Copies of this chain bind each other. A is one copy, B any other.
Amino acid sequence: MLKLKRFSRASIVRLELYLEVLEAFQKEGKETVTSSEIGEATGITSVKVRQDLFGMGSDGRPKVGYEIVHLIRMLRDLFDLDNQKNACIIGCGNLGRALAGSGIWEKSGYKLSAIFDNDPAVISTTINGVKVRNTTELFGVLKASKIEMAVLTVPADVAQEMTDLLVSAGIKSIWNFTPTKLNVPDDVIVENQSLVWGLIALSFRVKSEK
């Protein structure tokens, strides 16, 4: 029996990239692929590709390569992309609205089921078919629903406060766009995606890689 390796953050990013190119290959009608082909398309060495796939419990055929359909299924299972999960957005500013209207939901298996904000000007408007609710309703709505994930796009100074509310309402994972370290219980997962931090990381690399 194979023992599934624990994936590092870096390897997850690589696996996401593999999925991207595999789906492109599939669209072109390709049926099998070798580790070097994946490597070529992604800029990653074939050794690393093979090691990554091995860690996932790969099942390639010597001299032929991997079956694309199979690899895609493994990756989509690994990432849980075909299992619908309900999400809500907290904070409907520019970013919240952009996310609400973007194509990320279907690609990731999430369904945007609710949006909350406390600005009277946006409450009751509809974005992508979802009505914006007053934040005061948050606790009640979440308690009564199957929403397990919250996208946090509020100003940094209310991030922790909102997080506490979300946790008390039973949210189990948070996609955090604020540049704040959120304090949560052990069983709540926070994925940080602060855009400022991304931009600062770029600034750092530009300065130091030359």
Other-chain residue from B110, B183, B200 in contact with A16 (beta carbon distance below 8 A)? B200
CB-based contact B196/A107 at 8 Å: yes
- Specify which chain B residues have a CB less than 8 angstroms from the CB of A204 in the assembled complex: 7, 12, 78-80
Residues of the B chain whose Cβ atoms lie less than 8 Å from the Cβ of A104: 195-196, 199
A47 in contact (CB, < 8 A): no
Nearest-CB distance from A178 to chain B (Å)?
10
CB distance from A203 to the nearest CB of B (A): 5
B191 touches A175 (CB 8 A): no
Number of copies: 2
Task: Assess whether A141 is interfacial by the CB under 8 Å rule.
Answer: no
CA distance in complex: A180, B192 (Å): 20
**Given B99, B101, B173, which contacts A195 in the complex, CB threshold below 8 Å?**
B99
Closest chain B residue to A174, Cβ basis: B202
B189-A16 in contact (CB<8A): no
Interface residue range, chain A: 35 or more
| A130 CB-CB contact with B under 8 Å | no
Closest to A43 in B: B181
Cβ contacts under 8 Å, A59 to chain B: none
A98 within 8 Å of B by Cβ? yes
The proximity string for A residues 177-192 relative to B, scoring 1 for CB distances below 8 Å and 0 otherwise, is 0011101000101011
Residues of chain A having any CB pair with chain B under 8 Å: 7, 9-10, 12-13, 16-17, 20-21, 41-43, 78-81, 85, 93-95, 97-99, 101-104, 107-110, 148-149, 172-173, 175, 179-181, 183, 187, 189, 191-193, 195-210
